[in-house]
Structure formats: structure tokens, C-alpha cells
Amino acid sequence: MKLNIAVLAGDGIGPEISVQGVAVLTAVCKKFGHEVSCKEALVGAAAIDAVGDPFPEETYRICREADAVLFSSVGDPRFDNDPAAKVRPEQGLLAMRKKLGLFANIRPVQTFSCLVHKSPLKDELVKGADFICIRELTGGMYFGEKHEGDDMAYDTNKYTRPEVERILKVAYEYARRRRRHLTVVDKANVLASSRLWRKVAQEMAPNYPDVTTDYMYVDNAAMRMIQEPTFFDVMVTENTFGDILTDEGSCITGSMGLLPSASTGESTPVFEPIHGSWPQAKGLNIANPLAQILSVAMLFEYFGLQAEGELVRRAVDASLDAHVRTPEIQVEGGAKYGTREVGQWIVNWIENNR
Ligand code: IPM
Ligand code: MN
């Protein structure tokens, strides 16, 4: 297979983890005889600094022409505390999602058994937790009509029936391939938009008799994720709720640096870690590259390259078992490995194993 990949490294720790993701991608392709070509493009603060636009036209073109985008992170403290900033790095990510029509964000929350003790929750609660959050990504408050005045401001949480239907369809398809349990998360006791979600879900549920559908208010879901994370199989929710719940989900696993995601929809799919740009760690070689590397596994799997994805996952497991880990998940007294060392170890493992 021939793969054209757009590589958007972005800001903060983005460039460091991106290098490791590309190294793993390249190693696996070489092993399986796939031709891969990577094209780098600007996004986020890096793009604002270079050309004044967080998602330049040129980057959009490179993404459109690629088979997939390997994305890292955007964000820069220079913009965070300046409410008056006209452009922000995050707008680059949002523009990419919108322009590529990436309405479905797939965020798996999986625990690694050797890391459960790193979770802030009790071991017996997290053990075996394995669910997927399907987050709607191009609607809701993120993209609804906004007004930003000095004394009044609002965001509109708007959803249309087709937007809700298409994301629920994706969620049902995932549920069918898993444990056939779908939880629709909303706030239908208060929000009109949520009542539309629930109505549409209730209409669709009979078409999926093999899947158990339940409905949960978002506040309750946030609580249940802590009390009994193993309850969930597939959850589906709107953009803002999904943003919040997946940070909570990543925490359950013990480190934010572990979780990859895929954003899919109408055009080129994007594979990215769910963590942000962690500007404080920039250049320190301490960021965990695993979420980025696991995003590469998701990329392969998207194209039906299961063995390739599996090899990446086994290499990651092997690195954890061998205690080749970045500081935040290292065992007590374990050796010091940085972003580069972990990435290189995984590449070597891939070269030497099948
Ligand atoms: C995420 C991030 C983004 C979001 C930010 C960087 C705009 O937090 O991918 O979860 O809110 O969607
Ligand atoms: Mn987020």
C-alpha cells in the first residue's frame, strides 16, 4: 500500500512526539513493504508566527491531498492569557476539523494493566476499564453562533437532526463491533439540543436491536466514570461534553500521555493524541510519545492494516513491560528514559520483531 501522510507537528511538545510517531510509522511501513511519504505542514502558533494564520491554505491543501494526517498538538501560553488575541493556535485545530468535515472523534479509554496503580482511582475500579468515547466534533457550542461583547457574550449549542443521526450511526457501528452497549450522554433534563439528541437516539435504537442503548445525563456520566468505569463500552456525546469527559477518561488510565484518537468524517482522517501541547515540557525530552505512537496504530487500523497496528501496540506493551518509560509512568528506581529514547526503543523493537 502507498500512504501519503501529512505531518502537522504544531506547538509545545508536538514536534518532539511527532518525530517519534513518524519514526514508528516509517519502521512499520518498511517492515510490511508499504511505501510511505510524509509531508510536513504548519499549524497552530507555529503557523501564526510563520504566516499569521493557524491553519494556512497551504496546510489545508496538503491535508486534503493526503491519505491521513498525523497531528500532534497546538497551543501556546503567549495566547492563553490574552483574551483580546485576534488569532489563537486552537483555531487551527478547529478549522482543520471543520474544513475536513471530521465530525466523529473516536477516543478509546483503555487501561494498561501494568499502569493501573498510576491511576488516581483504586486499582480494582480501573482494572479492565475499556471504553470508547465517540465525541461529535464539528457542531455544538464550538461552532455555533457566537457573540463576544464587553458586557455580554454567548455561544450557541446548535445541532441539526442529520448531524445527530450521522454521529449516532458511527457510535452504533462501534458498539456492534464491541460489547454492544451504547450510552448516549446528554443533558436532556435542561437543554433543548440534548432533547433532540435523545429523541433521535430513541428513534434509531430499534434499528439496532442487538445493541443495548441507555441514556445518561452528563453530570451523572462524569460521576459513573469515576465510580464504575467498567460500566461503559461505547459512549456517544456532543462536542463540549465529549471534550470534558475525555480528559476525565484519560486521567483514569494513569497518564494523559497514553491516549490516542482518530477524527474521521467526510475527508482526510486525522490521528492525534488527546493531550495538549504541554508548553512547560517543550524541548525537555520528557513528554510521553506513546499517545502519538498509538495514534499511528489507529492510523494503520483505519486502513484495514490490522497486523501493522497490532505490531505497534505490541511494541508499546513491550516498552512498558521493559520499563522503558518516560518519567511520569516510570517505576520507582527505574532508569531515566526520555521521549527520544522511548521512541527509539520502540522502533528497534519493531525492526527486530514480527
Ligand atoms: C481537544 C482539545 C481541543 C478541543 C482544543 C485544543 C481546541 O482540548 O482536542 O480535546 O477543545 O477540542
Ligand atoms: Mn480537550
The model's pLDDT over 20-38, given as tens digits with 9 standing for 90+, comes to 999 999 999 999 999 999 9
Alpha carbon of 349 to ligand 2 centroid (Å):
32
The model's pLDDT over 192-232, given as tens digits with 9 standing for 90+, comes to 999 999 999 999 999 999 999 999 999 999 999 999 999 99
The rounded mean pLDDT for the chain is 96
The confidence score (pLDDT) of residue 257 equals 86
Of the candidates 7, 18, 6, 10, the one whose C-alpha atom is nearest the C-alpha of residue 287 is 18
The confidence score (pLDDT) of residue 255 equals 81
C-alpha count within 13 angstroms, C-beta hemisphere, residue 317: 12
pLDDT > 90 in the chain, percent: 93
Of the candidates 93, 103, 74, the one whose C-alpha atom is nearest the C-alpha of residue 170 is 103
Of the candidates 103, 106, 186, 109, the one whose C-alpha atom is nearest the C-alpha of residue 142 is 103
The model's pLDDT over 55-81, given as tens digits with 9 standing for 90+, comes to 999 999 999 999 999 999 999 999 988
The model's pLDDT over 328-353, given as tens digits with 9 standing for 90+, comes to 999 999 999 999 999 999 999 999 99
Spell out where the chain has E strands: 2-10, 35-40, 68-73, 104-110, 130-136, 146-148, 153-155, 181-186, 212-217, 234-237, 260-264, 270-273
187 is catalytic: yes
Q: How confident is the model at residue 113 (pLDDT cuts 50, 70, 90)?
A: confident
Question: What is the C-alpha to C-alpha distance for residues 307 and 320, in angstroms, rounded to an integer?
Answer: 20
Question: What is the C-alpha to C-alpha distance for residues 185 and 216, in angstroms, rounded to an integer?
Answer: 5
For residue 255, the SS3 value is coil
* Minimum-distance ligand 1 atom for the alpha carbon of 93: 7
155 is catalytic: no
The model's pLDDT over 76-85, given as tens digits with 9 standing for 90+, comes to 999 988 888 8
What is the arrangement of strands in the sheet containing 212-217, beginning at the earlier edge strand? 35-40, 2-10, 68-73, 270-273, 260-264, 104-110, 130-136, 234-237, 181-186, 212-217
Would the pLDDT of 99 be above 90?
A: yes
238 lines ligand 1 (CB under 6 A): no
Average pLDDT over residues 79-105: 94
Average pLDDT over residues 186-190: 98
93 lines ligand 1 (CB under 6 A): yes
Would the pLDDT of 165 be above 90?
A: yes
Q: Are 72 and 18 in contact (CB under 8 A)?
A: yes
Q: Which three cell numbers stand for residue 262?
A: 482518530
The model's pLDDT over 268-327, given as tens digits with 9 standing for 90+, comes to 999 999 999 999 999 999 999 999 999 999 999 999 999 999 999 999 999 999 999 999
Report the Cα 264 to chain-centroid distance in Å: 11
Q: Which of 247, 282, 302, 317 is catalytic?
A: 247
Secondary structure letter of residue 106 according to DSSP: E
Closest Cα to atom 5 of ligand 1: 90
Q: Which of 11, 53, 60, 142 is catalytic?
A: 142
